[in-house]
Structure 1
């Protein structure tokens, strides 16, 4: 199909964290819904974040895409203000710090 949002997605139960130690931290400034996906806007506090890594808060979700200044980027480093598009919703509040784990 030509549209990505019609594709089947994995079930939430399939999302596990492989690493024991977080590779980064992300501070949430705002949470939005875009095309039925959650987008977290905020700052990378420490570490390096790639698409495919997982965000852990009250639940876990893979990062599908990272954008900086409305442009897709391959990674984000400490100090970057970015938007993370997630596969699943992660309940979080403004100012909350989420851990980032390698897949």
Structure 2
């Protein structure tokens, strides 16, 4: 769809691209304690059970989502390690529930 069509009300493009996991072995696990929707993004609060988490990694439960940002004590951090309690802001809708353990995969 061209620029002018989008500008003047043509059909909106929708992304039907699914998130896929390429790596076969998970690099860690994350236990969900709470879930929120903040500004349309699913946010999970929980504890890193094992491994290391970076933004851009993928979480897998019933669905798959990409980690957009990691926050610890209300500050953005570059990564999270074993034992850290953090908030993960996601791209995509994982539909996780408290108590669920999610697998973490590299991008």
TM over 0.5: yes
TM range (shorter): 0.7 to 0.9
C-alpha RMSD over aligned residues: 1.3
2:28 is matched with which residue: 4, 17, 24?
Answer: 24
- Cross-structure match for 2:72: 68
Greater gyration radius: 2
2:96 is matched with which residue: 79, 92, 99?
Answer: 92
Q: 1:43 to 1:15 in 2, by over 3 A?
A: same
Moved over 2 A (4+): 10-14
TM-score (norm 1): 0.87
For the residue of structure 2 that corresponds to 1:13, the secondary structure is coil
Aligned positions, number: 94
1:37-73: CA deviation from partner (whole Å, max 9, x where unpaired): 0000000000000000000000001000000000000
Q: Distance in 1 between matches of 2:78 and 2:101?
A: 22
Unmatched segments (≥5 aa) in structure 2? 1-13
TM-score (norm 2): 0.84
